[in-house]
Chain A
Amino acid sequence: MDVLLNLTINGIATGSLIFLLAAGLSLIFGLMHVLNFAHGALFAWGAYFGVWIYTQTGSFIVGILGAIVIGAVLGWLLERWIIQPVYTNTMSQIQVTMGLLLVMNECIKVFFGPNQVSVQLPSYLNESWLLGGVILIKYRLFVIGVGILVFLGLQYMLKRTRLGLIVRAGVMNKEMVQALGINIKKVFLYVFILGSGMAALGGMLFAPYSGVIHAEIGMDYGILAFIVVVIGGMGSMVGSALAALLVGVLGAFATFYVPSVALAVNMLLMFGVLMFRPAGLLGRG
């Protein structure tokens, strides 16, 4: 019983991390029709930079903030200089962002060294609670907490603010938003920065979770985030959340019971969705 509970919590925590990555990707694609292959690189950068700040300052929280900042800054630079010129050309977009992924990955190795970096949790999060005979690792709950906060924050932004209104409308009909006198390109920038910041946050939270980070996590988790966005539906934040939970929990159970199949599970899920419901569970395709 406690194995099941632990697995579920693990799964939800992993799902939380994936959500941070996927939500940004989903919004960016839904609104801008840009698929940023380099989104995963932001995850990796968030991890490395955040961890570096953490080791320099000794404060985990400052590390997290540092990760968010680097994500936002990189997002701004990327959008402004690299993404904007290739908005309309899908082919170029795919290639340019792929190239970016490479360059950013390699730059990590340049700045932080090509070796793996191990990460320690701060002591106050490295504890566990004993609840009715079940061991709950604090950090897992922390990650889930952050995920829920971000989700609620995004929902609030989308439903209650003018920016959110513009984003929701833009996902449905970009041209009309402009015809109403709204500069949607500026909103693109904000959404991109937001998504990038979230991805970097995800990376930083992931670092102590897995204990070790290496430059390839950008690629690996980027693909995972993409799978989640496909399953949940492009442009649907709620869809990303559900799909992330699904993938996280399924992954946790699969890794435990049938480890060799674990990787394939996600692929199969994605294939299944693409075959039978290409718009995703909640998306509009």
Chain B
Amino acid sequence: MLTKRLAFSRWWMGLIVLLLIGFPFVSDSRGALILLTQIFIYAVFAMSYDILLGYTGIISFGHAMFFGIGAYTTAIFLHRWDHSMLSFLISLVAVLVLTGIVSYLIGVMTLRLKSHFYAMLTLAIAGLFLVLAEKWRDLTKGSDGFTFYIPDLLKDRTALYFFALAFMVIMFVLLKRFTDSPTGRVLQAIRENEQRTESLGYKILHYKIIASMVAGLAAGLSGSMYAITLRFVNTAVFGTNVTLDALLMTIIGGVGTLFGSILGSALILLVHAGLTDLAKIHWIFERWMIFFGALYILAVMFFPQGIVGMFRQWRAKWNRG
């Protein structure tokens, strides 16, 4: 039964990937290409968030800090050093190191606390990063930000598209492996019932830190990718709305389902693009955050399982009846 379900999903996913690969050849729209590229990148960011929220049951309001670290690190490497592919790849390594250290330190210090505290603390820490980025103008040029060149290989929008698509697929596979692994299962057990898992002999804090680090690393990488799509970086990458985007995408798509995060990313970014267009008609749409915020509240209160979750429930009912 389980394998049947997995195979079913795999077929669909394979099909979607094929469609996505074919897309640039059938469509001329540059805007669509760029939008899809963004969707792929945010999908990874959302998946990284899902590791925390959906799989381990940790709410963080500071996830943007890893995104920002990734974005700035890559941007600074490409700007200060040179904009070759090598420079880019080395920046990725640097991102992994930095986000690893930060996520570890913060995890050790704050994960032992109750979820309320952790949520608030991560919010505050992310805020600190934002302020740090604003003040350290030498490095970051503050809220003005700076532009930079990216490796020649990726200058072509289509090439970047495929690069991002590959990035998303690879990260998806890696993260899926992680969640299916014994470690990943322990995380899910923690989400279900922390006390029970602890009484079974697992060191909860240890596992939560691992989750925090995996999530941080993935988020950092997505930040790097984001920077090269934009060819520009400023303090907005540390903003709270970045974290909230991830939160929304994860919840709408379905917590605890990596695929749901991808769906959520697509949905949110599409709606965002749509609303921005509509904003030209009526100013109320500029405040799209209200819609998202309200949607978010309703989603949490009334359908916390998200789209994929509801789909699974519906399918389970169908299989039973």
Contacts and interface: CB of A to CB of B under 8 A. Distances in A.
A75 to B, nearest CB: 17
B135 A106 contact: no
A103 to B, nearest CB: 4
Given A95-B300, A100-B297, A230 B109 contact: no
Interface in B220-246: 240, 244
B294 A35 contact: no
Contact of B301 (A96, A107, A227): A96
B109 A96 contact: no
- Top 8 nearest A-B pairs (CB, nearest first) are A103-B293, A102-B293, A99-B297, A99-B296, A35-B116, A106-B290, A95-B300, A106-B289
B123 interface: yes
A211 interface: no
B289 A92 contact: no
Given A107-B290, A227-B124, A278-B113, 10 more contacts: A82-B301, A90-B116, A95-B59, A99-B294, A102-B292, A106-B287, A226-B120, A263-B128, A263-B131, A267-B128
Given A102-B293, A219-B240, A91 B57 contact: yes
Interface in B259-300: 284, 287, 289-290, 292-294, 296-297, 300
Contacts of B116: 29, 35, 90, 94
Contacts of B290: 102-103, 106-107, 110
B125 interface: yes
A90 B297 CA distance: 14
A98 interface: yes
20 contacts: A35-B120, A82-B301, A85-B301, A86-B301, A90-B115, A92-B300, A95-B251, A95-B300, A99-B296, A102-B290, A103-B294, A105-B289, A110-B284, A219-B240, A226-B120, A226-B124, A260-B135, A267-B124, A274-B117, A274-B121
A35 B294 CA distance: 19
A109 interface: yes
B115 A91 contact: yes
A264 B296 CA distance: 31
Interface in B35-63: 57, 59, 61
Interface residues of A, number: 37
A230 B289 CA distance: 30
Contact of B109 (A82, A260, A275): A275
**Chain A facing B: main interface SS:** helix
A137 B289 CA distance: 40
Contacts of B217: none
A177 interface: no
Nearest to A104: B293
B125 A94 contact: no
A230 B123 CA distance: 14
B288 to A, nearest CB: 9
A270 B304 CA distance: 32
A125 B124 CA distance: 34
A105 B57 CA distance: 27
A102 B109 contact: no
Contacts of A278: 113
Nearest to A224: B124
Contact of A95 (B113, B135, B247): B247
A223 interface: yes
A188 interface: no
Contacts of B292: 102
Residue of A98, A105, A223, A230 with highest tally of chain B CB at under 10 A:
A98
A271 interface: yes
A99 B287 CA distance: 14
A150 B162 CA distance: 62
Contacts of A264: 128
A33 B124 CA distance: 20
Contacts of A86: 300-301
Nearest to B241: A102
Interface in A67-121: 82, 85-86, 90-92, 94-96, 98-100, 102-103, 105-107, 109-110
